Structure 1
Amino acid sequence: MNHDNASYVTPSKERVGSSDKQQLAEALSRAHHIEPPVTVAPAPASAGILKRMYRAQHNLLSIWREKDYSVYTTHMNLANQKYVVCNSPDTVRRVFLEQHDNYDRKSPQMRRALIPLLKDGLFVSDGDLWSQRRRQCAPSLSNALLPNFCSVMTASANETAERWAEQPQDEPLDMLTEMAHLTARIIGRTIFGDDTTDDEAEQVVAGFTEYQRHSEHLDMADTLGLPFLRLLGNPLRRNRIRYSAEQVHEVIDRIIDRRINTSDSNQHSMIDSFMTALEGSEGCPMGREAVRNEAIVMFMAGHETTANALAWCWYLLDYDQQAMVCLQAELDEVLKGRTPRYEDVEKLHYTMAVFEEAMRLYPPVPLLTRQARGEDQVRNREVRPGTVLIVCPWLMHRHRKLWEAPDHFVPERFLPKVPRPDKFTYFPFSVGHRVCLGKRFGLYEGVLCLATLAQRFTPQLVPSHKVEIECRLTLRPKGGLPMTLQSRKPYKRF
């Protein structure tokens, strides 16, 4: 079979339940007549690789040309480093599932960007160490603990809502900062219990932000496969990266020490489950530093990515106010003004669809990389040891041949009776053997935070603010997202 000529039909075109099919058809029809939300301008078709690399220094996503949104594979050769871009369901499946043993190691660029902060944590490790850590971390995110975690999510979101209620309606808030503080509070409490203070959570958030700010530029030594160029790097930037990581380590160490010394058997936090699993694990036990490294992995995964996804939700709901009307109508019908609960998530179909569509358009982690251990062939692309494979959710989620109106905000794509996209076409939590352990946690967190806050408020973007996309290790609104809050009282409708 010639995969390059294979046809991938978007799920929106077939086997759709009647009610949801009608909603989807109407939404897609409307989308074709309006401007899409903010995106990244493609590189000029005539741009050579050097010009595209220069553009990527400012925004990694600006390296892609328009034709890259339609191809199934492509490649780049940069000096001593070869890249193959996997941009179809079958190529993603091959790298992340079928041949995962050959592609279990992240690229040199990604390892160098993450190791100062995460050390040998789950995001960075590979091989037997990764397998062992994965088994040890899994109990801390089991489905049995999710109802307790959901209570933390809604309690934290209610605290944010109470603070918002005191906010003057004409005084804008930075919604990105608001969501970062909210998700930091949630993940801090779910990892460490009630021992984490808001000040400590904010210190970790500040450390992550500073770390990303200094880590965002391409490391040309790794990118070009020329290690000697590292001697020409900026030592001041490296020192700042190390200092930011040490600041995060210090705060997390302090929280862990306090948690160990004042353990409360009535609390059910991730760290309790995590450390219980460590004590009972066989083989090489994890040391004190490893506990901290995995705690940072969980904190980063549960805070940064969800905060960005929620910020994009608020932007999109203001961009498409009809979507906000639909979402709030669902909340009024299902919740009738009360705080949402764990069991409500399965009933909040449109709210979930909004969150999933936001992650399609603005995937929290827009670029995934692997480095080949041995030879392989991906479609017609030769892969040699050391080749870096790029899987880009940003490209896949906007692929012109896989999605209808790919750049438009259409939550109806994810309604229950619409067949799900292929899991190797839509993967905001990665896919395959290294799929995010906290996928369900993240989905519930997003829906419960949206539901709690959108019941009581309608955030509106400050008209003078131009929204832009910033691609660091994660995808976020550049310069924040200033919004004013319009209060609403859903229970008065009944």
Structure 2
Amino acid sequence: MLRLVRRSFLDIWPERSFEGDMLRARVLLRDVVICNSPALVQEAFVEHAPDYERKSPQMRHALKPLLGDGLFISDGAVWRERRKVVAPVTHVSRLASLTPPMTEAAAERAVAWRRQDPARPVDMLAEMGHLTAEIICRTIFGRQLGGEAAASVVQAFAEYQRVVGQTDTLSLLGLPDWMPRWQPPAARRASQRIAAVLDELIERVLSPEGRGEASLIRSMAEGVNPATGKAMDKEAFRNEAAVLFMAGHETTANTLAWAWYLLSQAPHAARKVQAEADALGAPATFADMPRLAYTRAVIEETLRLYPPVPLLAREAGRDGELGGRKVRKGSLVIAVPWLLHRHKRLWRQPDAFIPERFLPGGEAASKPRYTWIPFAIGPRVCTGAAFGLTEAVICLATLAAGFAPRLAEGAVVHPICRLTLRPGDTLPMHLDRRHG
């Protein structure tokens, strides 16, 4: 079973996993509890969040070389103090000011696609990776950032994911944190490369020459913890920049790649997205969001079928109960969006791509609150959820105005779960032009 988990986390679930409310297992020294209903997810991750605050050992060991004590994997006092500084930077109230790079980069990508030979497929996963990396780099470090730095970080992140799996077998078996874990040399090189590029970019942004350029790093540098009055140090800047880059690039790139794939298999849905894009008459902007209801529904349905992080795992900090059953300290307590989003008792036609369920008055509107959790839940909910959703909608609409991507003949798409859920290592698609 452990070999199967390491190879493909998504393939281990028996059919009953998509129907039950709670799943339990014991893997040698560690108990595993899966919360598989909205009520249990709320009980564990919201009502008893302090008891299940700490990320799983697997996730911590996989990401610590990359993110250090960054917000995504820290806990306790570090997490609480850091979040007070970082959360306001990406708050929804600032969204309008953060979106121009989305429109600019998407429009530039459309121009680049016009130069592509339509007969030759592109790797849509890589295309969306470079697009979202360009956006997040401009947002984090300023809009004058060149594409070379973005490409360098993208390549290093991709290499890190390739060699580091989410499943740390030693932790899954229940062995203690102090026991050394082997880190592939390629992963160390990739994390060092990312740190070097980020340090250089931060230095540039915080230099006197970079003070006139608005950016998230500049906002974090000017922000302080309201309780202590202290700002973050240089290492913390780098760690949070890495978190922002990973969360704002990798997850949205995967979502967009999945959306293009799903639309290529659903011509009726693609036509509705194209109609909304055509009605704008220009690249999509934040002001256009109310006019892109169907495009947004496509993204939300994509997030249901292919949640970027398909497993949300925490470590029980003390003995307790969930659903009336005992949970021991040290147990892994997990919400699995991959299961919850395809649960047969929660969704009509759970495996079907039906964007209409996310339109006003659609099926999703009547669901319990924690039926759809692509951005996590509780106190650790993603601070950039609105940013990522808006980015995906703007990019999809802008590119759909000129192109109808089509899956390359013979291509087989099979989801793989590493640190995030990806449509394989590549996604070959033809860029069919819609106009001329």
Q: In the aligned structure 2, how far is the partner of 1:91 from the partner of 1:153?
A: 37
**Who is 2:253 aligned against?**
307
Asked if 1:379 is matched to 2:328, the reply is: no
User: Which residue identity does 2:301 align to in structure 1?
Assistant: E
Letter in 1 for 2:256: L
Shift of 1:428: 0.6
Q: Are 2:206 and 2:218, in contact at CA under 8 Å, matched by a contact in 1?
A: no
Could you report, residue by residue, the CA deviation over 1:3-42 in whole angstroms, capped at 9, with x for unpaired residues? xxxxxxxxxxxxxxxxxxxxxxxxxxxxxxxxxxxxxxxx
Q: Which one has a bigger Cα radius of gyration? A: 1
Q: Please say if 1:340 is aligned against 2:284.
A: yes
Q: Distance in 2 between matches of 1:277 and 1:268?
A: 13
Greater displacement, 301-310 / 134-143:
134-143
Amino acid paired to 2:120: E
**2:309 is the counterpart of 1:365:** yes
Structure 2 partner of 1:68: 17
For 2:175 and 2:210, how far apart are their aligned partners in 1? Answer: 52
Shift of 1:164: 0.3
Mapping for residues 122-201 of structure 1, pairs under 5 Å: 122-201=71-150
SS class of match (1:278): coil
Counterpart of 1:55, as a letter, is L
C-alpha distance in structure 2 between counterparts of 1:135 and 1:420, whole Å: 33
Q: Following superposition of structure 1 onto structure 2, how do residues 409-488 of structure 1 map, counting pairs within 5 Å?
A: 409-418=353-362, 419=365, 421-488=367-434
Aligned to 2:23, what secondary structure does the other structure show? strand
Q: Answer yes or no: is 1:355 the counterpart of 2:299.
A: yes
Task: Indicate if the aligned counterparts of 1:177 and 1:480 stay in contact, CA closer than 8 A.
Answer: yes
1:93 aligns with 2:42: yes
Question: Is 1:282 aligned to residue 228 of structure 2?
Answer: yes
Any conservation in 1 of the 2:202–2:238 contact (CA below 8 Å)? yes
Q: Give structure 1 stretches of 5+ with no counterpart.
A: 1-50
In the alignment, the residues of structure 1 paired with residue 414 and residue 46 of structure 2 have an alpha-carbon distance, to the nearest angstrom, of 34
- Verify: 1:401 aligned to 2:401, yes or no: no
Report the Cα distance in structure 2 between the residues aligned to 1:228 and 1:289, rounded to whole angstroms.
Answer: 23
Q: Aligned ranges for residues 239-318 of structure 1 at < 5 Å?
A: 239-278=185-224, 282=228, 285-318=231-264
- Secondary structure in structure 2 of the residue aligned to 1:382: strand
Q: Distance in 1 between matches of 2:167 and 2:389?
A: 31
1:121 maps to what in 2? Answer: 70
The question of whether the paired residues in 1 share the 8 Å contact of 2:57 and 2:177 is answered with no
What amino acid sits opposite 2:322 in the alignment?
V
Indicate how the Cα distance of structure 1 residues 285 and 229 shifts in structure 2: closer, same or farther if over 3 A, else same: closer
Give the TM-score, by structure 2 length.
0.96
Change in 2 beyond 3 A, CA 1:442/1:228? closer
Taking structure 1 as the reference length, the TM-score comes to: 0.85
Contact 1:136–1:281, Cα closer than 8 Å, also in 2? no
Does the CA-based 8 Å contact 2:304-2:374 persist in structure 1?
yes
Segment drifting more, 222-231 vs 248-257:
222-231
Work out whether residues 101 and 143 of structure 2, in 8 Å CA contact, stay in contact via their aligned partners in 1: no
Residue 261 of structure 1, CA deviation: 1.1
CA distance in 1, matches of 2:225, 2:59: 31
Residue number in structure 1 paired with 2:31: 82
- Classify 1:90/1:109 alpha carbon distance in 2 versus 1 (closer, same or farther; 3 Å): same
Quote how far apart the aligned CAs of 1:354 are: 0.2
Instruction: Give 1:195 shift.
Output: 4.3
CA 144–377 in structure 1, closer or farther in 2 if over 3 Å, else same: closer
Q: Distance in 2 between matches of 1:454 and 1:228?
A: 47
Cα distance, 1:211 vs. partner? 1.1
Shift of 1:267: 2.9
Shift of 1:162: 0.2
Residue 174 of structure 1, CA deviation: 0.4
Distance 1:262 1:453, change over 3 A: farther
Which stretch of the first structure deviates more once superposed, 60-69 or 403-412?
Answer: 60-69
How many Å apart are 1:268 and its aligned residue? 2.2
Aligned length: 434
Q: Which amino acid aligns with 2:52?
A: Y
- Once residues 289 and 228 of structure 1 are traced to their aligned partners in structure 2, the CA distance between those partners, rounded to angstroms, is 23
Runs of at least 5 residues in structure 2 that lack an aligned partner in the other structure? none
Instruction: Report if aligned partners of 1:423, 1:431 keep a CA contact under 8 Å in 2.
Output: no
> Cα offset for 1:239?
2.7
Is the contact made by 2:62 and 2:166 (CA closer than 8 Å) also made in structure 1?
no
Residue 323 of structure 1 corresponds to: 269
Distance 2:135 2:372 in 1: 26
Structure 1 residue 417 displacement after superposition:
2.4
CA contact (8 A) 2:276 2:397 kept: no
**CA distance in 1: counterparts of 2:193 and 2:292, whole angstroms:** 39
Distance 1:394 1:264 in 2: 43
Name the SS for the 1:74 alignment partner. strand
How far 1:228 sits from its partner (Å)? Answer: 9.9
Read off the aligned partner of 1:414 and give its amino acid letter. Answer: F
- Partners of 1:73 and 1:353 in 2: CA distance: 29
User: In 2, Cα distance between the equivalents of 1:381 and 1:71?
Assistant: 15
- Over 3 Å counting, the alpha-carbon distance change for 1:76 and 1:202 in structure 2 is same
Q: Quote the Cα distance in structure 2 between the aligned partners of 1:144 and 1:464.
A: 45
Contact preservation (8 Å) 1:121, 1:297: yes
Distance 2:329 2:6 in 1: 26
Paired with 1:156 and 1:348, the residues of 2 have a C-alpha distance of: 19
Q: Give 1:263 shift.
A: 4.7
**Structure 1 residue 214, shift from structure 2 partner:** 1.5
Report the residue type matching 1:351 in the other structure.
Answer: T
Q: List per-residue Cα deviations over 1:63-119 (Å, max 9, x = no partner).
A: 211101101001110111111000001110011110011110011111111111111
CA distance in 1, matches of 2:82, 2:64: 16
